[in-house]
Chain A
Amino acid sequence: MIRALALIFCLFALPLAAEEVVAGLSRDEVAITANFDGSDILIYGAVKRDAPAAEAPMEVIITVSGPSQPVSVRKKDKRVGIWVNTELVEVDKAPSFYAVASSGDLRQVLTRTEDLRHRISIPRAIRSVGAPSNVANAGEFTEALIRIRTAKNLYQRLDNAVKLYDQTLFSTTIDLPANLVEGPYNTRIFLVRDGMVVDDYSTVINVNKVGLERWIYDLAHEQPLIYGLLSLFIAIAAGWVASAVFRYVRF
């Protein structure tokens, strides 16, 4: 009986002592227009507590992840004097964009098990079930994927980029590059204490093409024949106009 009471007490006590994230975004929609050149998103928030903060310092990790796609990674090798694609590893799911910002050094802030459970760091955010048995060094391929996308600013590891004030208020800015893929961008905020995730919050930033970009994209996919003919019509018309204009412009 006492044991049962203690259990019930514990269940009530847990949320009481817990800390909760309250967060906001400077924008929850990104419109890709014809002159889209990247976008900054401010992510901010506070920690809601019912009790005084615990001794151990709190850390905040914020991730933004674009739509996942399968990616094929090919490796070149020298065969008969020329460089040829030889080995291929299909990565089952890799986010088209991934940024992970933290209030400290990510490796020290988070334990490996918690990273595995919540898929927070860049290598964990990529899901690769298994390479074909004929590929000797499969890890090399995921590393290459991360290296190439990091160089294009599509994968960002931003250590010490989250500003944390008085263990309560936090904010960070995520810089979305111009080469964005459309879709929902999942944004997660983790409160971490002693390497363990205490609370998490997630929301979505919608990235959409608008205006002319939207129209062209939809037409190309829904009415491909009309789109193709329209493209040809534009080409022929442009060729004719240029020819007609240049008839009168002698040089």
Chain B
Amino acid sequence: MQIYLPIAEVSVNAFLLLGLGGIVGILSGMFGVGGGFLMTPLLFFIGIPPAVAVATEANQIVASSFSGVLAHFRRRTVDLKMGLVLLIGGLIGAAIGVQVFAMLREIGQVDLLVKLCYVVFLGIIGGLMFLESLRAIRRSKNPAARPERKKHGLVHALPFKMKFRTSGLYISVIPPIVVGLLVGILAAIMGVGGGFVMVPAMIYILGMPTKVVVGTSLFQIIFVTAFTTLLHATTNYTVDMALAVLLLIGGVVGAQIGTRIGVKLKAEQLRILLSLLVLAVCAKLALDLLIQPTELFSLGVGGH
């Protein structure tokens, strides 16, 4: 069944959109990532104009994250206090990111920079996570070598300490705010929720337990993407409601299924799967940059 999208001004298959929303929703619920880093390139691929894809994707992430976070709330795996601290940084970061994006657009080459951002960040994060979870799996198979207790590093030496009971942490608020800020900047530039950067940062930099990380990340993503959606709707008029509804019907259902799958998997398995996924997307984007495209020319409607 073909459907004409009023803002994107293209006609696409409705079931294709439902399916895409569903698959990305499952991943979103499983890993606590918004799924934007997968969905946005997929939307480009089926012919949605990039500006509409990025803006509408933000709206869809709100829905799937909200659906996912409710399931996590019931399981008490959301650290609200940590989420709010991260959010403060995230909103400031998103505002800065939008400015940076506008500056890059004036210089030109914003496309390339976004793609390079994707390749570099997905590559680093995916690689690190993959290696770390391999090591963790090897450790669990060999119970003789117990992991040593975490050392008190820089994160513990900073002032303004706060107790995060759900995460079982007593750390300074500065690292979470900085993490939120940096992720917020990246999210605005790359047009995603930022979960795929946020989740590993929470595990490896803040030392939060994996089970709490997913819910807290989703909680934070809702607000950052809602903010982005409003910005896009009021400045660029590029949020396509019809597209968003189709994607989010698939997305919210997928997120519920994904959350249940996520609970059944072990933390190490969850991490290794996410890292493989991140590396796959990274490889695809890197290949696009390295292999000669069949069509060297591209069109953009309107000035620039």
Residue positions of A touching B, CB distance < 8 A: 32-38, 69-78, 81-85, 88, 90, 96, 141, 144-145, 147-149, 178-182, 209, 212-214, 216-217, 220-221, 224-225, 227-232, 234-236, 238-243, 246-247, 251
Q: How far is the CA of A122 from the CA of B297 in the complex (A)?
A: 18
Q: How far is the CA of A238 from the CA of B70 in the complex (A)?
A: 12
Interface contact B292-A78, CB-CB below 8 Å:
yes
Q: A227: which of B66, B233, B248, B298 is its contact (CB, 8 Å)?
A: B233
**Quick check: is B142 within 8 A (CB to CB) of the other chain?**
no
Chain A residue numbers with a CB within 8 Å of B289 are 82-83
**Quick check: is B237 within 8 A (CB to CB) of the other chain?**
yes
Tell me the nearest residue of chain A to B298, going by C-beta: A74
Chain A residue numbers with a CB within 8 Å of B154 are none
Chain A residue numbers with a CB within 8 Å of B10 are 178-179
Interface contact A181-B9, CB-CB below 8 Å:
yes
Chain A residue numbers with a CB within 8 Å of B256 are 242-243, 246
Tell me the nearest residue of chain A to B67, going by C-beta: A239
Interface contact B237-A220, CB-CB below 8 Å:
yes
Interface string of B236-253 (1 = CB under 8 A from A): 010101101100110011
Interface contact B244-A216, CB-CB below 8 Å:
no
Interface contact B302-A243, CB-CB below 8 Å:
no
**Quick check: is B95 within 8 A (CB to CB) of the other chain?**
no
* A-B residue pairs in contact (CB < 8 Å), sample of 6: A70-B303, A75-B297, A83-B293, A144-B297, A181-B9, A239-B70
Chain B interface main SS type: helix
Known contacts A34-B3, A239-B66, A239-B67; is A231 also within 8 Å of B9 by CB?
Answer: no
A-B contact count (CB 8 A): 192
Known contacts A73-B299, A232-B62, A239-B70; is A85 also within 8 Å of B112 by CB?
Answer: yes
| Nearest chain B CB to A181 CB, angstrom units | 6
Q: How far is the CA of A231 from the CA of B241 in the complex (A)?
A: 6
Interface contact B63-A235, CB-CB below 8 Å:
yes
Residue positions of B touching A, CB distance < 8 A: 1-4, 6-7, 9-11, 47, 59-60, 62-68, 70-71, 74, 108-109, 111-112, 226, 229-230, 232-234, 237, 239, 241-242, 244-245, 248-249, 252-253, 255-256, 260, 288-293, 295-304
Chain A residue numbers with a CB within 8 Å of B108 are 85, 88
Q: How far is the CA of A209 from the CA of B248 in the complex (A)?
A: 24
A-B pairs, 7 with minimum CB distance: A228-B233, A239-B66, A178-B11, A242-B252, A144-B297, A239-B67, A235-B63
Interface contact B59-A235, CB-CB below 8 Å:
yes
Known contacts A33-B4, A148-B295; is A71 also within 8 Å of B62 by CB?
Answer: no
Interface contact A234-B245, CB-CB below 8 Å:
yes
Interface contact B7-A232, CB-CB below 8 Å:
no
Chain A residue numbers with a CB within 8 Å of B244 are 231, 234-235
Chain A residue numbers with a CB within 8 Å of B62 are 232, 235-236, 239
Chain B residue numbers with a CB within 8 Å of A221 are 237
Interface contact A216-B7, CB-CB below 8 Å:
yes
Interface contact B6-A242, CB-CB below 8 Å:
no
Max count, chain B CB within 10 A of own CB: residue among A78, A96, A214, A246 = A246
Chain A residue numbers with a CB within 8 Å of B109 are 84-85
Interface contact B11-A70, CB-CB below 8 Å:
no
